[in-house]
Structures are given as structure tokens and as C-alpha cells.
């Protein structure tokens, strides 16, 4: 068990599965509004970053490529947050 968790891909998989279940649960209990939206976006951001760094294996890639993909994630999350913030006003 401990050995398996030395592999960053296995650790990422565990976190991704738990994070997905949390988002699903927030949906089940009907979470809505600012706190719910921010929580789900933060979860999606963490998940996306794990896929970029540990699945795509860009953790040790040239900085430009890592920044391009992480930058995409920041851009998309920010635009979604902005749009939801407008909808809540």
C-alpha cells in the first residue's frame, strides 16, 4: 500500500477519485450559490493540475509547456468564475 503510493500517478488517481466523489456529493445535496461554485471550481482546478503534472507528466517539462497548460487552467477557471459571479449579481 505504502509502496503503491510512492508512484505519483497512483497518488494522483486516489485524489482525483475522491475529488470527483466530493463534486458528485455537492450535486446530490443541491449545493448552490457562491460558496458551492467556488468550491467546485477549486476542486476542478486541483484535479486539472494533477492531470497536467502527474498524468501528462509536465512536472519536469520545459517551463514554457508547463506554464501554457497551467495557464489554460487558470484562464478557463477565471472566465467561468467571472461568468458565475455576473450571474449571481
Partner 1 sequence: MASTTSAPEEAPHSKRLPGDLAIWIFILAEMLAFAVFFSAYAFARAGNAEMFNLYQQTLNRNAGALNTLLLITGSWFVVLAVQAAHRDDNKGVSRNVALGIVCGAAFLVVKVFEYAEKFGAGISLSTNTFYMFYISLTFFHFMHVILGMVILTAIWLQARKGAYTSQNSHGLESGAAYWHMVDLLWIILFPLVYVMR
Given the rule CB under 8 A, which residues bind partner 1? Answer: 7, 9-10, 12-13, 16-17, 20-21, 23-24, 26-28, 32, 36-37, 40-41, 43-44, 47-48, 51-52, 54-58, 60-63, 65, 68-69, 72, 75-76, 79-80, 82-84, 86-88
Nearest to 79 by CA among 56, 58, 71: 71
Shortest Cβ 29–partner 1 spacing (Å):
11
Q: Which three cell numbers stand for residue 31?
A: 449545493
Nearest to 81 by CA among 46, 38, 33: 38
Closer CB to partner 1, residue 5 or residue 32?
A: 32
Closer CB to partner 1, residue 3 or residue 60?
A: 60
Q: What is the DSSP secondary structure assignment for residue 14, as one 8-state letter? A: H
Closer CB to partner 1, residue 5 or residue 17?
A: 17
Amino acid at each position: 500500500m505504502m509502496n503503491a503510493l510512492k508512484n505519483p500517478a497512483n497518488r494522483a488517481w486516489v485524489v482525483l477519485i475522491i475529488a470527483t466523489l466530493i463534486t458528485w456529493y455537492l450535486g446530490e445535496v443541491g449545493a448552490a450559490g457562491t460558496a458551492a461554485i467556488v468550491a467546485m471550481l477549486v476542486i476542478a482546478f486541483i484535479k486539472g493540475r494533477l492531470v497536467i503534472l502527474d498524468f501528462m507528466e509536465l512536472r519536469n517539462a520545459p517551463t514554457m509547456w508547463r506554464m501554457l497548460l497551467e495557464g489554460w487552467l487558470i484562464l478557463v477557471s477565471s472566465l467561468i468564475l467571472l461568468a458565475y459571479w455576473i450571474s449571481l449579481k
